[in-house]
Amino acid sequence: MRRSSRIRFRLGQPQDARAIGELARRVTRRWILPGQPATAAAPLLAGMRAWAIRRKMTDGQRFHLACLDDGRVIGVAAMRDDSHLFQFFVSTRWHGCGIARQLWQRTLRDAQRRAGTRHFTLNASAMAVPVYRRFGFVPSGPLKAKDTGLVVQPMQLDLP
C-alpha cells in the first residue's frame, strides 16, 4: 500500500509516552467511549496519561509503535506480561491500511521471542472484535462489565 510505505515500526520509549497518550485518548473518545456508561470514561482515560504509560514501560510493558517519517505516532500496540494485549489504537485517518495487522505481527513475534508465548488474551472494544477475529482470536466468555462499568469482550488466541 502506497501510504504505508512511509510508516516505520519501532519499540516505544518513555519519551514517546506523551504522544502515545494523546493518540490513545483521541481514538478512545471517538471509537470506544460512545455507547459506554459515563462512569467508564475517567478511569479508562487516566490509564492513558503520559505518566501512567511511562510507569507501565518502567514495569516492563512493551509499547510497539507505528510512526510516520516525521516522527508522528499513528499506531500503538501494548503488551503486558508478554501475553495480554491492551491499548491497541490506530489513528482514525489510517484505519483500514493494515497498520494494526503489522503492529500485531510485531507484538506477537516479540512476545514469542521473549517468552515463547502461545496463549494470548485481551479485552476487546465492540469495534475491534472483528479485527481480532481476523488475527485468530475467539471470545473466551460472555461480555464483561468491569468495575468502572466499561463493557468488554474477553478474547483469547491459542497458537498450535
Ligand X SMILES: CC(C)(COP(=O)(O)OP(=O)(O)OC[C@H]1O[C@@H](n2cnc3c(N)ncnc32)[C@H](O)[C@@H]1OP(=O)(O)O)[C@@H](O)C(=O)NCCC(=O)NCCS
Sites of contact with ligand X (CB under 6 A): 27, 31-32, 88-90, 95-101, 124-125, 127-128, 130-131, 134
Kindly state the smallest distance separating residue 88's Cβ from ligand X, in Å: 5
Instruction: CB nearer to ligand X: give 79 or 90.
Output: 90
Instruction: CB nearer to ligand X: give 33 or 50.
Output: 33
Q: Which residue is nearest to ligand X (CB)?
A: 100
Kindly state the smallest distance separating residue 124's Cβ from ligand X, in Å: 5
Instruction: CB nearer to ligand X: give 34 or 116.
Output: 34
Kindly state the smallest distance separating residue 110's Cβ from ligand X, in Å: 17
CA-CA distance, 12 to 58, in Å (whole number)?
Answer: 12
Instruction: CB nearer to ligand X: give 110 or 116.
Output: 110
Kindly state the smallest distance separating residue 36's Cβ from ligand X, in Å: 11
| Residue 149, burial from CB neighbour count under 10 angstroms (0-12, 13-18, 19+) | middle
Of 11, 9, 117, 109, whose CA–CA distance to 61 is shortest? 11
